[in-house]
Structure 1
């Protein structure tokens, strides 16, 4: 991350709600996903130690104890979540995401945006900064994915 990106992120932390109790962090994460109409399994993070949200700017962040890899069986993809994941949220959308990577062919790429354009389609789209995108069934990211890990 460039120093400019770090500065922009730090500015969005001002006036944010911040939680450090692991149980409350997980509750806030799930509550946020419900609120913005994205599947609860999109962030299968473990050991969340900090969660924050700036309601004015839509900026959120989640910090976990260590980087985690999660294999989504239904789409046959492993996604890596950094110690800190950040994003701006809107209804059915996460944009300008940092801290989320996946492998395409033999390359590791950053995921920059996630959205559900039409809820009736039951499809969720993931994009990388170059504009390349992939669409998958929403069911691949349902909460059951989280429960299977425990």
Structure 2
């Protein structure tokens, strides 16, 4: 069975972005975590929490409050649950001269105002949640 089987799919930038932001909000995550551009498709399988995003090309975004540049690939997928995104693929954050993949994003529950990004190398970075609010 394909991971995306039985998923809700939204096509096009406006509908796709709206769906991505509403999923982040529904699961208690900051709406600005996915600054997407030229979205082709966003999908979500409620039964498993599997989410995928296809955009025309890679996007780099500078989260100024966190002083962090993040790269979002043309294919992004993950499993989303309350306050957490896990098994994330397609997102990298610049660390010094390297771009390690981000594999998990977790917000403290109960909330402390902190959000944690874990990379493939096992490194976890913590930032204020508001650094990833919509429009940052």
Structure 2 counterpart of 1:79, from 45, 65, 70: 70
Unaligned runs of 5+ in 1: 1-9, 146-150
Structure 1 counterpart of 2:41, from 34, 40, 50: 50
Q: CA RMSD of the aligned region, Å?
A: 1.2
Structure 2 counterpart of 1:14, from 1, 5, 8: 5
Unaligned runs of 5+ in 2: none
Q: TM-score, normalised by structure 2?
A: 0.95
Is structure 2 residue 25 aligned with structure 1 residue 30?
Answer: no
- Alignment check: 8 A CA contact 2:100 2:121 kept: no
User: The residue matched to 1:139 in structure 2 has which SS?
Assistant: helix
CA distance in 1, matches of 2:51, 2:94: 24
| Displacement of 1:143 | 0.7
Structure 2 counterpart of 1:122, from 100, 113, 116: 113
Q: Tell me the alpha carbon deviations over residues 83-131 of structure 1, each in whole angstroms, 9 at most, x when there is no partner.
A: 0110101000000000000111222100000011234310000001232
Partner of 2:99: 108
CA distance in 2, matches of 1:85, 1:49: 12
User: The residue matched to 1:109 in structure 2 has which SS?
Assistant: coil
Partner of 1:64: 55
Aligned length: 136
CA distance in 2, matches of 1:23, 1:56: 25
CA distance in 2, matches of 1:99, 1:31: 20
Q: Which has the larger radius of gyration?
A: 1
CA distance in 2, matches of 1:81, 1:59: 17
